[in-house]
Amino acid sequence: MSHTAHIPSHRKPRRSSTTKLRAGVAGGVLSTLAVAGSAGSAHAAEPVTETIEMPTITSELATKVAASADATQQAADSYKLQAEQDAAAAKAAKDAKQAKEEAIAKAKAKKKAEERAAKERAARSAERTTLAASADSGSGSTAQSVPSAGGSVGSVISFLKAQLGDSYVMGASGPNSWDCSSLVQAAFKQAGVDLPRVSQDQSTVGTEVGTSNLQLGDILYWGGKGSAYHVGVYVGNGQYLDAANPSKGVVIQDLSGYPADGAVRVL
């Protein structure tokens, strides 16, 4: 035995065991870090969000939505219909008001025309009364028979036109002022025909010819036959000559403006 056998060896211990231990410790630490890192990465990859639960659309909900839409459309249609009805009512009211105003205006015009005609008839009636009183009372009537032959229509028309512009004066018998019947009487006297003095009697002489078959020289009358309130003489072309009234005097006028009620022919 060596004399140094009992002395502990001063050689360094083998490193293999220490190295293995350290490697084991390091490996454990690295594994722990890997696990922790993996866990951290997993948590970092998942952001925190708030989950909202959406309502489930059921057939009942869909039905309610459709019903609400229908109700809204019906309301809109109802408002539109009401607006159209209101507009129609307003137009009808406006048209009715206009029609009423036109009817009132026509009624006033008609009334005025009737009043004017009534005044003229009254004036003619007074004229007939005055002239009849001064006529031949021995005959019992101012009406006379008038010969249908003789005389000249031309002389009647010429005389009448010579008096154009003369004045109208009720009861006057010329030479520069006339009333309707005195002018007709004087004109036919030029043709040798003696006529009654007043218009109501002049409407009954000769032959009734109406107003659709007039000839020059026919006597026109306004009012009823035998009760005429005005007379004139047809001068052709749809016109007549008469002593019209105080404002016009002796003039030629269109029959279309004042149509006669009848006509008689003595020539």
- 152 neighbors 216 (Cβ within 8 angstroms): no
Q: Report if residue 89 sits inside a domain.
A: yes
- 213 neighbors 227 (Cβ within 8 angstroms): no
User: Do 126 and 211 belong to one domain?
Assistant: no
Region 206-230: what's the mean pLDDT? Answer: 95
What b/e readout covers 189-210, taking b as 16+ CB neighbours within 10 angstroms? ebbebebbbbbbbbbbbbeebe
Of 82-96, 99-113, 146-160, 203-217, give the lowest mean pLDDT range. Answer: 146-160
Q: 21-71 pLDDT, tens per residue?
A: 454 444 554 454 444 445 444 444 555 555 556 556 677 777 887 788 888
User: Do 126 and 220 belong to one domain?
Assistant: no
Q: What is the pLDDT of residue 56?
A: 60
User: Do 162 and 191 belong to one domain?
Assistant: yes
191 or 72: which leads in pLDDT: 191
Q: Report if residue 126 sits inside a domain.
A: yes
Q: What is the pLDDT of residue 142?
A: 38
Burial class (CB in 10 A: 0-12, 13-18, 19+), 180: buried
Burial class (CB in 10 A: 0-12, 13-18, 19+), 65: exposed
- 120 neighbors 161 (Cβ within 8 angstroms): no
Structure tokens at 102: 């036109």
By percentage, how much of the chain surpasses pLDDT 70? 65
Q: Report if residue 172 sits inside a domain.
A: yes
Q: 144-198 pLDDT, tens per residue?
A: 444 433 458 999 999 999 999 999 999 999 999 999 999 999 999 999 999 999 9
CB atoms within 10 A of CB 130: 13
User: Do 167 and 253 belong to one domain?
Assistant: yes
Of 9-13, 70-74, 81-85, 137-141, give the lowest mean pLDDT range. Answer: 137-141
Q: Report if residue 68 sits inside a domain.
A: no
91 or 30: which leads in pLDDT: 91
113 or 233: which leads in pLDDT: 233
Q: Are strands 219-222 and 250-254 parallel, antiparallel or unpaired?
A: unpaired
For the chain, give the mean pLDDT.
78
Q: Which of 74, 92, 94, 73 is nearest to 84 (CA)?
A: 92
